Amino acid sequence: MSETDTDLEARLAEQDSFEPPQSFIEQANVSDPDIYDAFENDWPHCWEDAADLLEWSSDYEQVLDDSNPPFYEWFTGGELNASANCLDRHLEERGDEAAIEWVGEPVDEDNRTYTYNELHREVNEFAAALQELGVGEDDVVTLYMPMIPELPVAMLACARIGAPHSVVFAGFSADALATRMNAADSEYLVTCDGYYRRGDPLDHFDKATTGLDNVDHEVDTVVVERLPSEDAFANTWPEQTRGYDELVENHAGETVDPVDRDAEDMLFLMYTSGTTGQPKGVKHTTGGYLSWAAWTSHAVLDIKPEDTYFCSADIGWITGHSYIVYGPLTLGTTTMMYEGTPDHPDRNRLWEIIEEYEANQLYTAPTAIRAFMKWGAEYPDSHDLSSLRLLGTVGEPINPRAWKWYYKHIGNEECPVVDTWWQTETGGMMLTTLPGVCEMKPGSAGPPLPGVSADVVDMSGSPVSAGEAGYLVVNKPWPGMLRTLYNNDDRFINEYWREYSNTDSDESSDWVYFPEDGAKIDGDGYITVLGRVDDVLNVSGHRLGTMEIESAIVGVEGVAEAAVVGGEHDIKGEAVYAYVITEDGYNHGEDLREAIVEGVEDAIGPIARPEAVIFTRELPKTRSGKIMRRLLEDIANGDDLGDTSTLRNPEVVEDIQRKLGSD
């Protein structure tokens, strides 16, 4: 008799470790458990394996130059081009195979396949167009586009001519675009007229031009016309704005030789949130980053050229950079891009796409899995998902229940699940199981990858014992690491190194990278990442600085002070809770609440929208005047507050609780 659903749930609920399926191990790119010892014994030369996945135009002389920590250099003396690695070298064998399968939002109307030949052609044409506009090597080009194929085309065109790109997530606001363009001194912008969200056209160009009003230098703009004429918001463009199609047509059939870039030359900048209001410009390089994206795609995502690989992230975040564009294309596979949301036109959408394209891997975020769980298993269960071979998650901790649901309902208990911990700064995966080697433990990302040296330590830097909570640290450099924060070496050292390093030392072994995450480690060396220990929130797997949100709120007329914390949320993981003190004479009414929400959306974007705005007379503060954020989090979560008598103003707590309860 076959197992009933209830029996099966009960069995899975009790099981806390899972072996990878034999059928997977037999075909896995990496299946030899000795790789851990081999990499440790051969460090840093083990990373030649990663560099070997790339094509170099000049060989590197040294794997790692660690003479000036923390300014490490990898594959020094080597030269390569990222666009040639993603395209040119695949043409002979895979020219007619799909490089990108793009699924546009309006169902069945607008899907496009780019073969490697076609992608190569368009990248060359657009690279020639960028040159015509005057873009030269090392000029930063900002790309402000949603999930349309022209985004990876533009990224690869920039890479081809040695111009670093800075992609700004399309959901970010006009102000966020301006901040990033000013910080990077970026004089070129590629954007689009609009795109679809849940069936409705959105005016993206309007947001881009509003942003440009606040850019403090001249900008040449290229606009991709994504919307068909019946949905277009405009059909003429302002001065200094060129149409993408026209530019590409002007350069039809042209080729541009890929520029040889030094391994340490910047490939791209990516701005991410930190503890101050100013986003950090994370700098990634050509040789180290690309080899890291390629090796982790090979070893962890098990990508093979004949696969159809689906990552549902947005290219506007690091996940899309490393695991939609650079990693998969370097390996010559077919990478999918989906423009829409998983619930439009209905909740079958993602499963229909996987079934239709016979996707072999699915890499998504726990926030999406929690939403799928809430919608119910009937949606995936009514589709043939048997093409899937591997499942992955990224961006935030995944609770064991969601992990098991994913394993059972999407993977049919036949696919290993890789829970991958990493950050914008690490360039690619750092902690996770190797799917063809390791046992999986739901809820725990897993051990550090071979060649990665990570640990969990206490405040003084000593390793904690198994099961105790502490701070995650990385003890040795790795090729995909950020090199610095753009134009800000001091902040780079202060943010990531000062905590656990001897910053006066020239010895690499005295330098320890601190990712600002809390973690636990078990007796087998599996690390469970608990979340940020700085003032950064993780909302639906997206990183948001509380300071950025607070400064947006205090910018609203009538607001005197604000404190933003994260509260638990079933689907989003964390949600934004804003505690606000108004100036005298301002009414705590609906109008002000709306103005605050709008203020946050204007400064950052809808993802930062507060779940709750709580007006209060005062914020709970310690006797020394520090805001008690932990207490505000406990209030948001309805947790027991413990002893509040040490506060300077304990009476305010009850007042806030009452307000939150009445909202």
- What residue ranges bind ligand PRX (CB under 6 A)? 272, 318-319, 394-397, 419-424, 445, 515, 517, 529, 531-532, 538, 543
For residue 390, the surrounding DSSP H or E stretch is: strand 390-394
Contact 439, 17 (CB under 8 A): yes
Smallest separation, CB 454 to ligand PRX (Å): 12
Smallest separation, CB 480 to ligand PRX (Å): 11
For residues 427 and 599, which CB has a smaller minimum distance to ligand PRX in the complex?
427
Smallest separation, CB 371 to ligand PRX (Å): 17
Smallest separation, CB 423 to ligand PRX (Å): 4
Crossing angle of helices 651-662 and 629-637, rounded to 10°:
40
For residues 221 and 278, which CB has a smaller minimum distance to ligand PRX in the complex?
278
Neighbour-count burial for 103-133, b at 16+ CB within 10 Å, e otherwise? bbbbbeeebeebbbbbbbbbbbbbbbbbbeb
Q: How far apart are CA 631 and CA 650, in angstroms?
A: 11
For residues 424 and 433, which CB has a smaller minimum distance to ligand PRX in the complex?
424
Smallest separation, CB 322 to ligand PRX (Å): 8
What 3-state class would DSSP assign to 244?
helix
Contact 421, 432 (CB under 8 A): yes
* Cβ neighbourhood burial of 492 (10 Å; 0-12, 13-18, 19+): buried
Smallest separation, CB 608 to ligand PRX (Å): 13
Among 439, 387, 385, smallest CA distance to 417 is for 439
For residues 388 and 402, which CB has a smaller minimum distance to ligand PRX in the complex?
402
Smallest separation, CB 366 to ligand PRX (Å): 8
For residues 211 and 392, which CB has a smaller minimum distance to ligand PRX in the complex?
392
Closest residue to ligand PRX in the complex (CB): 424
Q: In whole angstroms, how far apart are CA 430 and each of 138, 325, 406, 487, 538?
A: 29, 19, 22, 26, 18
Among 100, 112, 156, smallest CA distance to 308 is for 100
For residues 241 and 278, which CB has a smaller minimum distance to ligand PRX in the complex?
278
Smallest separation, CB 538 to ligand PRX (Å): 5
Question: Which amino acid type is present at position 519?
Answer: A
Q: Which two tokens stand for residue 615?
A: 């007006």
Q: How far apart are CA 192 and CA 369, in angstroms?
A: 30
Smallest separation, CB 499 to ligand PRX (Å): 14
For residues 70 and 397, which CB has a smaller minimum distance to ligand PRX in the complex?
397
For residues 372 and 513, which CB has a smaller minimum distance to ligand PRX in the complex?
513
Q: How far apart are CA 76 and CA 73, in angstroms?
A: 6
Contact 427, 296 (CB under 8 A): no
Among 263, 255, 256, smallest CA distance to 55 is for 263
For residues 444 and 508, which CB has a smaller minimum distance to ligand PRX in the complex?
444
Q: How far apart are CA 349 and CA 368, in angstroms?
A: 13
